[in-house]
Structure 1
């Protein structure tokens, strides 16, 4: 069903990089070579379908191992602000780990799009606090202060050996990281099946600091 601009909420939950499918204004930068854009689109579709083909039980087991990997990479979360995401289209469901961050003295947040062509805003949120539905019925915090994360956990569609992330094509994470006054620890997460030889990185692509999958070893 078509959606008019008046029907679209002013704020959007993760994955904000998928916004290019809602509005053409969210397309990848025009400077990307056409052949790279076409390749990324096809590879993105292939990897998402491969991820969705994995059973829900298998994805849950892999998410639990990813959580163990995050603990190994981050260490003590007490006093840290960690941005996560609401799972979408087979992404690892890290909501149980998000809750554990709060019980261990950390704080958590979700990213939101507040304006076209602008960096994301991170809003503090933890399990049990109010949510409302955003685009695609993905829940977003209905209240909460803007925050600057110490750690950004970003789901990937694909990841290359240099930790360049293939996302949904909107460029929001790259734009956000480039604009942040201090760069957080950026950790990409996903499954081993999402590893690819290259994403053909462009000048504006920003690599993750680390990548954690179900096969992570400290």
Structure 2
């Protein structure tokens, strides 16, 4: 856990852990219910395995990987044309997720507009509020630090989505609540979505379901590990 100047040193559970409480939150309309239950059970088991593997890296190991991922992401963002005036949604790291807050601060200093996702309504798309290194965070849903309600609401051009697991089709295994999927399905225009992951968390498939929406790129400590779009 990493503290900050506001004393927010405890990371809460992700809003996507809602899926752990209600694994059938999307329902099974149009798919075989038994198959959907099998996939849900498999995903829960994979989440447990991947969380354990990440915890096993230790704080030092996770910090080193965060630095490496940050370096690779800088290159990927530059190649994407992220520049002053671009609105980029980052994330507040929880439960051992890669910590990219140094990168977020650096991007802010060069004029990139940084936002953070906020659960304003449960089981609904995320909203995005502006963040700066000076923002005094408040506790949001599930006790996660978020920008305060008076922070400007933004629509991101680019978004970063932390992944527990990922596959080469750019499908993401998250915490299970479906917030990123709902958001990518509804935000117009859709932001370009970078998945942020550990190379060792690659899966053969996440067994995508109708509600799952692939990201555009997966960035790991090894670089761009998967792309949904053909190389130009």
| Shorter-normalised TM range | 0.7 to 0.9
Of stretches 52-61 and 119-128 in structure 1, the one that deviates more from structure 2 is: 52-61
What is the CA-CA distance between 1:137 and the residue it aligns to? 4.0
Q: What is the rounded CA distance, in whole Å, between the counterparts of 2:128 and 2:24 in structure 1?
A: 22
For structure 1, list consecutive stretches of 5 or more residues without a partner in the other structure: 1-12
- What is residue 85 of structure 1 aligned with on the other side? 91
* Alignment size in residue pairs: 204
1:210 is displaced (CA, Å) by: 0.4
Q: In 1, are the aligned partners of 2:15 and 2:141 still within 8 Å (CA)?
A: no
- Asked if 1:45 is matched to 2:48, the reply is yes
- Partners of 1:132 and 1:205 in 2: CA distance: 30
Are the aligned partners of 2:118 and 2:140 in contact in 1 as well (CA < 8 Å)? no
Matched ranges for 1:25-40 at <5 A: 27-31=24-28, 33-40=36-43
The secondary structure found in structure 2 opposite 1:146 is: coil
By relative contact order (CA 8 Å, sep 6+), the higher-ranking structure is: 1
8 Å contact kept, 2:15–2:142: no
User: How far apart in 2 are the matches of 1:136 and 1:144?
Assistant: 19
SS at 2:156 equivalent: coil
The reply on whether 1:125 has 2:128 as its aligned counterpart is: no
Q: How far apart are residue 126 of structure 1 and its match?
A: 1.2
RMSD over equivalenced CA pairs, Å: 1.9
Out of 104, 109, 120, which is 1:114 matched to?
120
Aligned residue runs from structure 1 range 60-75, under 5 A: 60-75=63-78
TM-score by length of 2: 0.82
Alignment of 1:42-191 (within 5 A): 42-75=45-78, 76-135=82-141, 137-142=143-148, 143-191=150-198
TM-score (norm 1): 0.87
